[in-house]
Chain A
Amino acid sequence: GEDVEQSLFLSVREGDSSVINCTYTDSSSTYLYWYKQEPGAGLQLLTYIFSNMDMKQDQRLTVLLNKKDKHLSLRIADTQTGDSAIYFCAEKDTNAGKSTFGDGTTLTVKP
């Protein structure tokens, strides 16, 4: 089946850039997503990228997609303490109509 992998933890200092990486196996993915989970809450969509794109920028967020290597990354510029959360990478299997989520990367931002 489909698999999505992420490293579990990342710690950065406030003001630095954060880069969260993800690899996936399903070559038929049409959309890849980044969801954010704040403490005690459900997941919320942060951003997404269509599989025929290699980059998407949205304010402090930059998503890079290397489709050949099945590698997705999320860069957060000027990371703030409010960015501390768990970030989930997800891919959508178009044929099955459902998504597979990674294990989540816990981002800790230190003042």
Chain B
Amino acid sequence: DADVTQTPRNRITKTGKRIMLECSQTKGHDRMYWYRQDPGLGLRLIYYSFDVKDINKGEISDGYSVSRQAQAKFSLSLESAIPNQTALYFCATSDFKAGSYNEQFFGPGTRLTVL
């Protein structure tokens, strides 16, 4: 089974709708991240969480909100979807050990289309 799962994998929605993307992990990591990927723009950080009570905005948080329901779950919401939020969304997790490289483990992605 995959260590980081995302649901749904694909979603088409209409402008103005509320959408929730979910992420679950079985790696036991405290740190979780949401990114969006757009062609030619790479990965941009939306929100990140270092533990259940710690939520931080990334570089492009406007129009998004998150919820860390448990160590293993981190959800991303689009309160009122707009077409320029059409993108590929990735969840990632990482451990934190001082002095270690602490790689990030990525989910398979959610392709979101807003019409």
Mask, A26-51, CB within 8 Å of B = 1, is 00000101010000111111001010
Asked if A111 is at the interface (CB within 8 A of a chain B CB), the reply is: no
How many A residues face the partner with a CB closer than 8 A?
A: 23
Pick the contact of B108 from A8, A33, A41, A50 — CB < 8 Å?
A41
- Whether the Cβ atoms of A103 and B108 lie closer than 8 Å is no
How many B residues face the partner with a CB closer than 8 A?
A: 26
Given A1-B59, A42-B90, A97-B96, A88 contacting B43 (CB threshold 8 A): yes
Main secondary structure of the interface of A (DSSP, over half): strand
Chain A residue at minimal CB-CB distance from B109: A42
- Whether the Cβ atoms of B96 and A48 lie closer than 8 Å is no
In the complex, A48→B103 CA distance in Å? 9
Asked if B45 is at the interface (CB within 8 A of a chain A CB), the reply is: yes
Given A41-B108, A42-B108, A97-B96, A50 contacting B101 (CB threshold 8 A): yes
In the complex, A35→B101 CA distance in Å? 13
- Whether the Cβ atoms of B90 and A103 lie closer than 8 Å is no
Mask, B79-95, CB within 8 Å of A = 1, is 00000000000101000
In the complex, A101→B45 CA distance in Å? 9
Complex contacts, B59 vs chain A, CB 8 Å: 1
Given A48-B101, A97-B50, A42 contacting B107 (CB threshold 8 A): yes
Mask, B34-61, CB within 8 Å of A = 1, is 0100001111110010100000101100
Asked if B33 is at the interface (CB within 8 A of a chain A CB), the reply is: yes
Complex contacts, A101 vs chain B, CB 8 Å: 35, 42-44
Complex contacts, A42 vs chain B, CB 8 Å: 4, 90, 92, 106-109
Query: B-side interface residues toward A, CB under 8 Å?
Result: 4, 31, 33, 35, 40-45, 48, 50, 56, 58-59, 90, 92, 96, 101-104, 106-109
Known: A43-B106, A98-B45. 11 other contacts (CB 8 A): A33-B101, A41-B109, A42-B92, A42-B106, A45-B103, A48-B101, A98-B48, A98-B56, A100-B45, A101-B35, A102-B42
